[in-house]
Amino acid sequence: MCGNNMSVPLPAVVPAARKATAAVIFLHGLGDTGHGWAEAFAGIKSPHVKYICPHAPVIPVSLNMHMAMPSWFDIFGLSPDAPEDEPGIKQATENVKALIDQEVKNGIPSNRIIVGGFSQGGALSLYTALTTHQKLAGVLALSCWLPLRTTFPQGTISGVNKEIPVLQCHGDCDPLVPLLIGSLTVEKLKSMINPANLTFKTYSGMMHSSCIEEMMDVKQFIDKHLPPVD
C-alpha cells in the first residue's frame, strides 16, 4: 500500500444535532471526495446520527492510465472477470475497520453504525461488512459490486454479520457498473447472508449516480436500523 494516509485530510463530518448515539460511515466513489456525500446526508439527517464521509487517498489508478486520483484501492478493469487489487482492498478494509473502532471509542457501539458507499466505496463497504468481526447495524450499497467475490466460501458466511440488513440500490441506466452487476451481486449476497435482510431497489432512468428517490430510501433505511435510543 502507498502509506500516504497522512496526506489525506480528515473526513467530512455532519455532526449530530444532539448527542450522537449512532453513526453512518459513507465511502465515496472513484475520483470523488467525501464532501458531496456529506452535503447529501446533511439534507436527510436525523438529530441523533453522526455522518462521516472520509476521503480516499490519492493513488495511481491502473484503469485510468495510472493517473493519480482519490481511490480506495487500485482498479484494473470494470468487467466482472478483471483482476482485482487484493492487497489494496484488504488494506482499505483495515482502514474502514479502524474508522469504526474510532467511533466505538467515541462511545457509539458498532451495532449502531451503518457503513455504506457509492460505487468503489460501496464495494469496499460490502467487503468490510462481510469480513469484519465488528457487528454492524447495516450496509448501504449504492451502484456497486462485491469485491473478491470468488474468495468467499460457498454458502452463508459465519460471524456476526450474517443477518446484516443491506439496502442495495442501482440505476437501471448505469453505463459504468451495469445493472446486471448489481443483480449478480444481490444473488451472491443472498447466498451469504439471510436474504430476508436484503433489499434491492432499482431506479428507472438513473445512471451511475444518485437521485432524490434513492436518498429517501437511504433515509428510511437509516431511520429504521438506527432509531433514536432515548
In three-state secondary structure terms, 90 is helix
Residue 174 falls in the annotated catalytic set = yes
Sequence letter at residue 223: D
Q: Print the binding letters for residues 140-179 with ligand NAG: x by CB under 6 A, - otherwise.
A: -----------------------x-x--------------
Phi and psi torsions of 11, nearest 5°:
-60, 150
* β-pair partners for 26: 116
CB 23 within 8 A of CB 108: yes
**What is the spatial distance between Cα 49 and Cα 17, in angstroms, rounded to a whole number?**
8
Q: Among the options 174, 210, 217, 225, which is catalytic? A: 174
Q: Print the binding letters for residues 9-28 with ligand NAG: x by CB under 6 A, - otherwise.
A: --------------------
Q: Which is nearer to ligand NAG, 80 or 195 (CB)?
A: 195
Residue 101 falls in the annotated catalytic set = no
Outline where 106-211 has alpha helix (H): 120-131, 179-192
Sequence letter at residue 125: S
Q: Among the options 32, 71, 74, 119, which is catalytic? A: 119
Cβ 88 to ligand NAG, closest distance in Å? 30
**What is the spatial distance between Cα 35 and Cα 41, in angstroms, rounded to a whole number?**
10
Cβ 223 to ligand NAG, closest distance in Å? 14
Q: Which is nearer to ligand NAG, 29 or 165 (CB)?
A: 165
Interface with ligand NAG (CB under 6 A), residue total: 5
Cβ 226 to ligand NAG, closest distance in Å? 12
In three-state secondary structure terms, 190 is helix
- Contact between 223 and ligand NAG (CB under 6 A)? no
If you compute the radius of gyration of the chain from its CA atoms, what whole number of angstroms results?
16
Q: Among the options 62, 183, 208, 209, which is catalytic? A: 208
Question: Locate cell 433489499: which residue?
Answer: 199
What does the binding site for ligand NAG look like in residue numbers (CB under 6 A)? 163, 165, 194, 196-197
Residues marked active site are found at 119, 174, 208
